[in-house]
Amino acid sequence: MNRVHSILMFGVAMALSTAAMAQDKTVKVGNLSDQSGLYADLGGPGSTLAAQMAVEDSGLVAKGWKIDVIAGDHQNKPDVGTNIARQWLDVDKVDVIVDVPSSGVALAVNTVVKEKNAVFLNSGAAASDLTNSQCSPNTVHWTYDTYLLANGTGKAVVKAGGDSWFFLTADYAFGAALERDTTAVINANGGKVLGAVRHPLNTSDFSSFLLQAQSSKAKVIGLANAGGDTTNAIKQAAEFGIVSGGQKLAALLLFITDVHSLGLNIAQGLTFTETFYWDMNDQTRAFSKRFSERMKNKAPPSMVHAGVYASLIHYFKALEALGGNPHDGAKVVAKMKEMPTDDPLFGKGVIRADGRKIHPGYLFEVKKPSESKGPWDYYKLIATIPAEEAFTPLSQSTCSLVKK
């Protein structure tokens, strides 16, 4: 009797453990970002906070899931980024890597994640290559990309009469992609590009480059750079009388942290494209209030932070629908593509076969100091780019996952 009892117990234990294996409810999220350099404010610690808030708001912890968030600093160097990614996926058993600003690092991490069959939810990087030539069944590109920036800001500026351009381009994957996509838009709309100068990433003095742009006599100086590079260029362009001399600056990528750092006096009147602004509606305001209360410098979320949050919310929904974490990146991403997205920050949307998340883009203008009613009240909405026009049409996609 005793023996039968123990065999039965063993059977029950076995059954329980296989059930537990089928429904593994542990998840590890890694925020791989620039934690201390020129992109740290738009991603960095804010993205870790956004990831933690997504974990809390998903409600999965109350349902018995165990979810950890860890963070790493890729220093905007592809080799550092891939090393951390490999360590995370091989040793620390990270399931999903989020954020990864700086396209050079993002493209490298994209390859590693595919090789290890994990999940890559990119928010911070811009290169449209992530969902075109470099697309992967393990990657979702959430927030924005160079196609959107080119078609948003680029098209608007050309249509307003800015038909000759000179680029100041950050000399790495992102800058090259943004210049390429914007040039295509300029040419398609009857404008032309007179020249470009490629500056090293993280340049503190832009006066030489601005002088070259000035002597090109182009109507528009396109800034194909980001973060500290963009703010330095804008500030110094004002100093050198570029704008008062009749040339217009087109900041192709500008984040709210950049506008804050420049101050409205210098930033006023700049037009640019983003997909999220904290003051859009009640839901974005509510989220931003909770977010900024927990930020050290009380800043509201940038669109990159918003993307980290929203993409993880959708990821957790997919895991819940799968009934557990299969630790199979391609399978989870396939489920994410199958389910329509709906979150408080970007509204309803979809993820396409190429990994591109689809939502509207917004053309904003920086307010005049007199128009701003309070801290961080910086943007006014000029135009909405409908979701179906915001990103590369599938018919033009070079992604191998798209069936034609």
Partner 1 sequence: MLGINTQALFGQLLLGLINGSFYALLSLGLAVIFGMLNIINFAHGALFMMGAFCAYFLLTWFDLNYWWALVLAPLIIGGFGIVLQHTLLRRIAGLDHLYSLLLTFGLALIIQGVFLNYYGSSGLPYAIPAALQGGTNLGFMFLPNYRAWVVVVSLAVCLATWFLIERTRFGSYLRAATENPQLVSAFGINVPLMITLTYGLGVGLAALAGVLAAPINQVRPLMGADFIIVVFAVVVIGGMGSILGSIVTGFALGIIEGLTKYFYPEASNTVVFLLMVLVLLVKPTGLTGKAT
Residues of the shown chain interacting with partner 1 in the complex, contacts defined by CB under 8 A: 36-42, 44, 171, 197-200, 202-205, 207-209, 211-212, 214-215, 227-228, 231-232, 235-236, 239-241, 245, 257-258, 260-263, 265-266, 296-297, 299
Q: Which is nearer to partner 1, 247 or 341 (CB)?
A: 247
Q: Which is nearer to partner 1, 283 or 297 (CB)?
A: 297
CB-nearer residue toward partner 1: 67 or 264: 264
Q: Are 132 and 392 in contact (CB under 8 A)?
A: yes
DSSP-assigned letters across all residues of 255-269: -HHHHHHH-HHHHTT
Question: Which residues are CB-neighbours of 21 under 8 A, at least 6 positions away?
Answer: none
Please state whether 82 falls in left (phi above 0), alpha (psi between -120 and 50) or beta.
alpha
Q: How far is the CB of 265 from partner 1 (least distance, A)?
A: 7
Contact, 351 vs 358, CB < 8 A? yes
Q: Nearest distance from residue 201's CB to partner 1, in Å? A: 9
> Of 46 and 78, which has the nearer Cβ to partner 1?
46
**Smallest distance from the beta carbon of 226 to partner 1, in angstroms?**
11
Give the Cα separation of 366 and 361 in Å (integer): 16
Smallest distance from partner 1 to CB 203, Å = 7
Would you give the DSSP letter of residue 94?
A: -
One-letter amino acid of 38: L
CA-atom Rg of the chain in angstroms: 23
Nearer to partner 1, 104 or 329 (CB): 104
Residue 85 or 262: which CB sits closer to partner 1?
262
Angstrom distance (rounded) from CA 260 to CA 62: 37
CB of 70 to partner 1, least distance (A): 19
- Closest approach, Cβ 171 to partner 1, in A, equals 6
Beta pairing partners, 342? 348
